[in-house]
């Protein structure tokens, strides 16, 4: 199942991989702005000799044609950064752009997939099938995968595989569980309308503060009383804008929040309950409600056979002690769109190391990775593709 030449190529290119990641880290680009990043990826693919096409407005789809006909496996890396001020000290590859930072590890994903591309290109004549390499923009706003799909990235694809560097998982550990991995991530906005007036005459008003407060206090009952306790779900109201002055009773309130779960039926149930709660709480206080519910990413559900294949690759390539069981996260990941109708798996590659201060939460201004985990990720990309294309009964 394991190709030793892949291991050798990854090892020989590890230093270059780390330097490429650091170059991207110095020059972070936000979603849909990844022009330099796309150019740098294209330069590296040109050096290797891999054919590719650019997608609009940023991103790249590349293809390695195997020496023998067979299936097509898609490998994906995301390339965008975040609007986060980097607070990390004592590194010479700190972001050079104030307020922008690779605070989630996408720089490492890109570098790892390029290194995997070098390894797979070196054995292309041995491949039974093709490898599609996807360098995807705009994951952080959950728009990139859908855009790539519209531009034909899934045409002819039989299996998909992706990964995320993971600071909560120890370095030199990899998790790829069958079943739920990431939750769906939906956005909601609720607009309550009352009737404003003077704070000294509440009887002449309909107080939007009361409506919004009652909703926030009651909405958690959806999870605690309407959802099966064995089904994880989160309803969070993260922002509330209401009121203008200490002695003015507010007429309007705007709430924003998010819903996370692993089951699409429960997702629909929560949405319906939120709409009901908003309408009925508003009516109780003589106001009105408008709910704007936006479906974000789907849940990432690892297909059983693909996850088991990844686990076998992890153990054979790196040793049994590398295989780790990480709990599902209620974070969102737009890789889910690739998996909606195509089997595949999504792995978490450990980079947490307290000795190097790389155990910080993703999206934190001091987020960093233990780069010792990068060769594992690069080789896992390539070895999974090799193993999948050589599974005649898959």
Residue 106 is labelled as binding a ligand: yes
The token pair that represents 32 in the structure block: 């849909």
The token pair that represents 319 in the structure block: 């040793």
> First CA to last CA across the chain, in angstroms?
13
Catalytic residue among 29, 80, 326, 370: 80
Where do runs of H (alpha helix) occur along 220-373?
221-226, 264-284, 304-318
Those residues whose C-beta lies under 8 Å from the C-beta of residue 276, and which sit 6 or more positions away, are: none
Those residues whose C-beta lies under 8 Å from the C-beta of residue 130, and which sit 6 or more positions away, are: 63, 64, 65, 66, 70, 71, 72, 73
Residue 363 is labelled as binding a ligand: yes
Residue 63 is labelled as binding a ligand: no
Candidates 336, 357, 335, 348; CA nearest to 376 is 348
Catalytic residue among 107, 139, 207, 371: 139
Beta pairing class for 248-249 and 197-198? antiparallel
Note whether 137 and 76 are within 8 A (CB): no
Q: How far is CA 201 from CA 212, 213, 242, 248, 388, in A?
A: 20, 20, 18, 10, 71
The DSSP output letter for 310 is H
Note whether 136 and 119 are within 8 A (CB): no
Residue 176 is labelled as binding a ligand: no
Residue 140 is labelled as binding a ligand: yes
139 catalytically annotated: yes
Task: Mark the binding-site residues, compressed into ranges.
Answer: 104, 106, 140, 164, 363
Which residues are tagged catalytic?
80, 139
Write out the binding residues for Mn(2+).
Answer: 104, 106, 140, 164, 363
């Amino acid at each position: 199942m394991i190709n030793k030449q892949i291991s050798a190529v990854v090892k020989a290119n590890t230093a270059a991989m780390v330097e490429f990641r650091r170059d991207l880290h110095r020059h972070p680009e936000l979603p849909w702005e990844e022009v330099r990043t796309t150019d740098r990826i294209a330069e590296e693919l040109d050096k290797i000799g891999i054919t590719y096409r650019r997608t609009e407005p940023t991103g790249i789809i590349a293809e390695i044609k195997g020496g023998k006909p067979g299936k097509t496996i898609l490998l994906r890396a995301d390339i965008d950064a975040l609007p986060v001020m980097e607070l990390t000290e004592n590194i010479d590859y700190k972001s050079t752009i104030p307020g922008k930072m690779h605070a989630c590890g996408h720089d490492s994903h890109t570098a790892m997939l390029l290194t995997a591309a070098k390894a797979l290109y070196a054995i292309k004549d041995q491949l039974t099938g093709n490898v599609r390499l996807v360098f995807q923009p705009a994951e952080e706003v959950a728009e990139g995968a859908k855009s790539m799909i519209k531009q034909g990235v899934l045409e002819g694809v039989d299996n998909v595989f992706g990964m995320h560097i993971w600071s909560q998982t120890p370095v030199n550990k990899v998790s790829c569980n069958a079943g739920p991995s990431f939750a769906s991530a939906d956005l909601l906005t609720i607009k309550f309308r009352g009737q404003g007036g003077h704070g000294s005459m509440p009887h002449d008003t309909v107080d939007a503060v009361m409506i919004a407060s009652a909703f926030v206090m009651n909405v958690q009952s959806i999870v605690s009383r309407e959802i099966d306790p064995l089904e994880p779900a989160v309803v969070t109201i993260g922002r509330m804008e209401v009121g203008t002055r200490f002695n003015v009773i507010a007429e309007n309130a705007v709430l924003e929040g998010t819903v996370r779960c692993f089951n699409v039926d429960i997702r629909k149930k929560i949405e319906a309950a939120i709409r009901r709660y908003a309408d009925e709480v508003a009516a109780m206080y003589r106001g009105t409600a408008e709910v704007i519910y936006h479906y974000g990413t789907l849940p990432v559900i690892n297909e059983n056979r693909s996850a088991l294949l990844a686990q076998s690759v992890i153990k054979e390539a790196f040793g049994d002690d590398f295989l780790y069981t990480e709990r599902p996260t209620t974070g969102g990941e737009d890789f889910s769109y690739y998996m909606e109708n195509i089997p595949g798996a999504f792995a978490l590659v450990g980079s947490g190391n307290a000795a190097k201060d790389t155990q910080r939460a993703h999206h934190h201004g001091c987020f960093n990775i233990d780069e010792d985990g990068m060769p594992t990720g690069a080789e896992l990309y390539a070895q999974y593709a090799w193993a999948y294309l050589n599974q005649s009964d898959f």
